[in-house]
């Protein structure tokens, strides 16, 4: 067994030790570990705890799991018109995400999204629901758990949007972009790249539409381990632009647009580490401007 294998096994054991606790799952320790990525075979279980779908108190595990199953079974999953639109979007999605290209996945998408829409009548169907739902279908063992985790994420997005308008989010990100990567921002201006077009989707959909699937799942490990990942998300977007800067500066407008809407494979450990650096630099700059340093 080489060093990497030993390290991977040790990391896996750290997670298993927390998850196999008989009385109480130590959520704080789980969050600290999960920020650095979750082993594939444990991701579904870990995400349930991080998203507060599964309670940390092990004595309530069976009863809460049974209650979830019963609740999900009762939810209305019928709307033939929207089901048709979901199937069409899933078909397009599956062409670029081979991890979820099996036929049985189609009905799972339909069931989960319809259950969500039918229990949240103020939410309208949008094609982005498919890409936001996909990681949960991929990592969860049951459709029921995928639904409740998806619902938690959608509620978090809704709560954040209620406090910070999308226009405000885009404006804040544009300021970050101009300060953090002035050369690339200037190049986009020269090439007349519509900043609103791609940044709106990046910010609104947590990169679920643009990122390679394996990168997205790894990023969400870190996000779900945070108490407020929305505040961190713009720095991740900035970090991605920084990592792709040289490649982007060799492209013309239409090619830039294509790359921003279909990102290449990224080194996520580096992207996340650089995002933390961007965040610290921004806080320091703001403190200097406010005379606090």
| Tens-place pLDDT, residues 21-79 | 999 999 999 999 999 999 999 999 999 999 999 999 999 989 999 999 999 999 999 99
216-235: average pLDDT: 97
| Residue 292, pLDDT score | 64
Residue 205 has pLDDT above 90, yes or no: yes
Domain that holds residue 277: 164-289
| Residue 171, pLDDT score | 96
70-97: average pLDDT: 97
The last residue of one of the domains, among 17, 46, 74, is 74
Claim to verify: residue 68 and residue 118 sit in the same structural domain = no
Question: Tokens for 253?
Answer: 């407008």
Domain count, the chain: 3
| Residue 293, pLDDT score | 53
d(CA 236, CA 175): 15
| Residue 95, pLDDT score | 95
Residue 3 has pLDDT above 70, yes or no: no
d(CA 284, CA 279): 9
- The DSSP letter of residue 24 is B
Residue 139 has pLDDT above 60, yes or no: yes
Claim to verify: residue 66 and residue 93 sit in the same structural domain = no
Q: Would you place residue 289 in the very low, low, confident or very high pLDDT band (cuts 50, 70, 90)?
A: confident
Q: Would you place residue 288 in the very low, low, confident or very high pLDDT band (cuts 50, 70, 90)?
A: confident
The last residue of one of the domains, among 141, 162, 183, is 162
| Residue 149, pLDDT score | 98
Sorted by sequence, the CB contacts under 8 Å of residue 130 that are 6+ apart come out as: 86, 89, 90, 93, 109, 113
Claim to verify: residue 187 and residue 141 sit in the same structural domain = no
Residue 217 has pLDDT above 70, yes or no: yes
CA 283 to chain centre: 24
| Residue 244, pLDDT score | 97
CATH classification of the domain holding 216:
1.10.472.80
| Residue 286, pLDDT score | 86
Residue 110 has pLDDT above 70, yes or no: yes
The last residue of one of the domains, among 47, 74, 101, is 74
136-159: average pLDDT: 97
Claim to verify: residue 84 and residue 54 sit in the same structural domain = no
1 vs 4, higher pLDDT: 4
153-173: average pLDDT: 95
Residue 199 has pLDDT above 70, yes or no: yes
| Residue 257, pLDDT score | 96
Q: Would you place residue 5 in the very low, low, confident or very high pLDDT band (cuts 50, 70, 90)?
A: confident
Claim to verify: residue 192 and residue 266 sit in the same structural domain = yes
Claim to verify: residue 157 and residue 170 sit in the same structural domain = no
Q: Would you place residue 291 in the very low, low, confident or very high pLDDT band (cuts 50, 70, 90)?
A: confident
pTM of the predicted model as reported, rounded to 2 decimal places: 0.95
95-122: average pLDDT: 96
């Amino acid at each position: 067994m080489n060093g990497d294998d030993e390290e991977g096994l040790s990391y896996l054991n750290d997670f298993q030790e927390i998850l196999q606790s008989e009385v109480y799952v130590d959520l704080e320790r789980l969050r600290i570990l999960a920020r650095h990525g979750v082993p594939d075979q444990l991701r579904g279980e870990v995400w349930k705890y991080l998203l507060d779908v599964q309670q940390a108190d092990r004595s309530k595990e069976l009863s809460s799991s049974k209650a979830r199953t019963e609740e999900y079974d009762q939810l209305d999953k019928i709307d033939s018109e929207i089901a048709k639109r979901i199937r069409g979007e899933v078909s397009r999605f599956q062409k670029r995400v081979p991890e979820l290209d099996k036929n049985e996945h189609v009905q799972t998408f339909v069931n989960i999204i319809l259950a969500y829409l039918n229990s949240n009548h103020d939410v309208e169907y949008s094609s982005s629901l498919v890409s936001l739902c996909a990681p949960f279908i991929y990592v969860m063992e049951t459709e029921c758990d995928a639904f409740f985790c998806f619902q938690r994420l959608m509620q978090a997005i809704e709560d954040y949007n209620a406090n910070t308008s999308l226009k405000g989010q885009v404006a804040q990100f544009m300021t970050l972009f101009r300060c953090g990567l002035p050369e690339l921002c200037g190049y986009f201006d020269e090439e007349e790249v519509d900043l609103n077009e791609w940044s709106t989707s990046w910010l609104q959909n947590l990169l679920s539409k643009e990122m390679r699937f394996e990168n997205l799942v790894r990023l969400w490990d870190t996000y779900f381990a945070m108490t407020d990942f929305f505040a961190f998300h713009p720095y991740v977007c900035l970090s991605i632009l920084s990592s792709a800067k040289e490649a982007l500066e060799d492209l013309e407008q239409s090619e830039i647009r294509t790359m921003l809407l279909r990102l290449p494979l990224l080194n996520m450990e580096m992207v996340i580490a650089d995002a933390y650096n961007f965040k610290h630099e921004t806080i320091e700059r703001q403190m200097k401007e406010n005379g606090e340093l």
